[in-house]
Structure 1
Amino acid sequence: MMSGTELARAIVDQAAHRAADYEKHTGRKPCLATVIVGDDPASVTYVRMKRNRCHRAGLDSRLVSLPEETTTEQLVAAITELSNDPEVHGILLQHPVPKHVDERAAFEAIAPDKDVDGVTMHSFAQMSFGEAGFTSCTPGGIMRLLDAYDVDPRGKHAVVIGRSPILGKPVAMLLLARDATVTICHSKTENLPDVVRTADIVVAAVGKPEFVRGDWIKPGAVVIDAGYNEGNVGDVAFDEAVGKASLITPVPGGVGPTTIAVLLEQTVDSAQRQLAAL
């Protein structure tokens, strides 16, 4: 079982130590600003959880809560104001946003040096080219899990199910950078179960409960379930896959904790980089 809980605790503890050192030298804490549009219950819960984790790690947390009817222009303006605020070190736009909002335009309003969630095109390019920058948090957490459990992707066949710009595509780039041979699958992939059966590492990021069945898993494969669906169910049929996989992440308690831990770590990174640039 690949538990993310203890790994996340270690990441957050180190981030908290660095945040305390930053506060000692500057008189202020690293600050993460979270923007939420509307009152979707799941999003409200996620935001509350992230803010609580911030406080426990010694970070400031600023909440910008906007009504459901907020336009793209209004959201972009709010994010631009945070991007220009020297007291803010990281910006997180809680997604998904309402359907009438252009989410990509909102993401791109985040200043690259404050994109601690790794959602902008600038961050994706830096990550893909191996340049210093911010990693998309869930993919970053997945790579930390692989390292913690001594899974070396080099030479392995990794199959990523999902091609979202904040999960599927970036985790594929990170695996490729670690010398894995990567196949990205999606809703149009033909013979998907047969493709997955060739994988040494499976990353399920499709957003459908128990989509990946146990008989899709090659014996001994490493299975990373990056999905989270209603009822605490992942994208992998866990009870079927657990007997086939050599390592597997549970839902909850697998990828999720590491995602938040990387977010906090990168907020401290951002604060220290901005201080060094002064």
Structure 2
Amino acid sequence: MSSTARLMDGSALARRIVGQAAERAADLTRQTGRAPCLATVLVGEDPASVTYVRMKRARCEKAGIRSRHVELPAATTTAELVGTIAALSQDPDVHGILLQHPVGPHIDERAAFEAIAPEKDVDGVTFHSFAAMSFGLDGFASCTPGGILRLLDHYEVDLTGKHAVVVGRSAILGKPVGMLLLGRNATVTYCHSRTTDLASITREADVLIAAVGRPRFLHGEHIKPGAVVIDAGYNPGNVGDVDFESASARASLLTPVPGGVGPMTIAVLLTQTVDAAARQLGVA
């Protein structure tokens, strides 16, 4: 048993990836005279969402990616939101679209996501992107799952034949990360908050992905000694879905919160925005 887990430094890796994206963005701008552009759409004034969007726009600016921000009132209807996104999808000056979620219970979020043109779905939230990712075809991965795979690669975690357990089943995290792991020849088990005798399953995991959205939901007794543990949760008070202290006594590799998965999500978003721009401008 590992007495102290080695921490997976997502912040350092993300800085490297963003630096590479910035170089590519600069090259693209020189070649075409047009900088990559990410449009962010925010409905309402949820404080956390406002902060996330501001942070993403700041990262874009540092990476040489233009950002266009669209703020809509909380009372915006599904039809109005779909119309706004459809217009951005048709705008040749916009290369990627990010709809900040949640958007409010009165809005059909799936309809809004599906208004994003597949070639501009740099957040990987549409049916098209999920299907392409699941079948190993050309498309954009959901950003957090994509970031998790990059972290695993960086720390040379061989997924072939390993048992990966995903705790969580959301459309933008739990489900897609399982498909990416399956594509790397892992054997994947999905669990969630209603799974019976959860600990008996998670203790069999060589790689454990916590994406359930509950603070400190998984503890040391849920973890197989020597397992790789990815905490993809972020809860109030900078707390993840894993109890860090007890997990670090059993895991071999562990992502901290903050500084693990979070920075990787933004790094993949910026990378995929540059990818999208290059394809649309005919440079890819």
Q: TM-score band (shorter)?
A: over 0.9
Pick aligned residue for 2:251 from 245, 257, 263: 245
1:91 to 90, 97, 101: 97
After superposition, what is the alpha-carbon deviation per residue over 1:72-126, rounded to whole angstroms, capped at 9, x for unaligned? 0000000000000000000000011111111100000000000000000000000
Alignment counterpart, residue 260 of structure 1, candidates 245, 260, 266: 266
Q: How many aligned residue pairs are there?
A: 278
Map Cα deviations across residues 21-68 of structure 1 (whole Å, 9 max, x no partner).
111011121000000000000000000000000000000001000000
* Aligned-residue RMSD, C-alpha: 1.0
Shift of residue 277 of structure 1? 8.2
In the alignment, structure 2 segments of 5+ residues that lack a partner are 1-6
Structure with the bigger RCO (C-alpha within 8 Å, sep 6+) is: 2
Separation in 1, partners of 2:160, 2:283: 35
Which amino acid in structure 2 is aligned with residue 147 of structure 1? Answer: D
User: What corresponds to 2:166 in structure 1?
Assistant: 160
Residue 190 of structure 1 is matched in structure 2 by 196
Q: Name the SS for the 1:211 alignment partner.
A: coil
One-letter amino acid of the structure 2 residue matched with residue 112 of structure 1: P
TM-score after normalising by structure 2: 0.97
Whether 1:37 and 2:43 are equivalent positions in the alignment is yes
- 218, 223, 233: which one aligns with 1:227: 233
Q: Which runs of 4+ in 1 moved over 4 A?
A: none
Tell me the CA shift for residue 186 of structure 1.
Answer: 1.4
Normalised TM-score (structure 1): 0.99
Would you say the 8 A contact 2:123–2:269 is kept in 1? yes
1:178 is matched with which residue? 184
Q: Measure the CA separation in 2 of the matches of 1:104 and 1:179.
A: 30
Contact 2:238–2:257 (Cα < 8 Å) also in 1: yes
Q: Tell whether the 8 Å contact from 2:28 to 2:283 is kept in structure 1 after alignment.
A: no
CA distance in 2, matches of 1:17, 1:244: 39
Summarize the Cα distance change of 1:120–1:203 in structure 2 as closer, same or farther, 3 Å threshold.
same
Q: Which of residues 11, 19, 27 is equivalent to 1:21?
A: 27
Q: Percent identity?
A: 70
| C-alpha distance in structure 1 between counterparts of 2:166 and 2:127, whole Å | 20
Does 1:129 pair with 2:131?
Answer: no
**2:253 aligned partner, one-letter code:** L
Paired residue type of 1:173? M
Supply the AA of the counterpart residue of 1:83. Answer: S
Other-structure match for 1:74: 80
